[in-house]
């Protein structure tokens, strides 16, 4: 007889000493400043703390973001940028 085994991915504890949260996989909106440009990238895979909101990006995600920033493609949308004075 066979049996089915479910392997649940263990969650990593938050890296902040005082935080009791754990990281969860989510899609985020990531903002990067590149010289005078502000680039907003939607649906970025990330690990987000369930308590404090700290965000971790995997190395392959960072490489993909860098690739997007180097491309000369036009963005899907443009958004206004306000200066807090």
Rounded to two decimals, the pTM is 0.76
State residue 2's pLDDT score: 53
Query: Does residue 50 form part of some domain?
Result: yes
pLDDT digits (tens, 9 = 90+) for 21-75: 999 999 999 999 888 888 899 999 999 999 999 999 999 999 999 998 888 778 8
The confidence score (pLDDT) of residue 79 equals 85
**What is the residue whose two structure tokens read 């996989």?**
25
- Looking at the structure of the chain, the number of domains it has is 1
Nearest to 48 by CA among 28, 30, 23: 23
Identify whether 4 is part of a domain: no
pLDDT over 70 (residue 6):
no
Query: CA–CA separation, 31 vs 28, rounded Å?
Result: 10
Provide the pLDDT confidence category of residue 8 given band limits of 50, 70 and 90: low
Q: Which residue has the higher pLDDT, 72 or 11?
A: 11
Render pLDDT for 74-85 as a digit per residue (tens, 0 to 9). Answer: 888 888 888 898
Would residue 75 count as lying in a domain?
A: no
Full residue range of the structural domain in which residue 35 is found: 23-70
Query: Is 13 contained in some domain?
Result: no
């Amino acid at each position: 007889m066979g049996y089915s085994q479910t392997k649940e991915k263990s969650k990593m504890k938050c890296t902040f000493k005082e935080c009791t949260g754990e990281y969860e996989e989510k899609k985020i909106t990531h903002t990067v400043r590149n010289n005078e440009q502000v680039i907003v990238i939607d649906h970025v895979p990330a690990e987000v703390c369930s308590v404090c909101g700290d965000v971790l990006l995997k190395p392959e995600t960072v490489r993909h973001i860098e690739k997007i920033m180097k491309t000369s493609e036009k963005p899907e949308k443009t958004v206004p940028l306000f200066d807090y004075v």
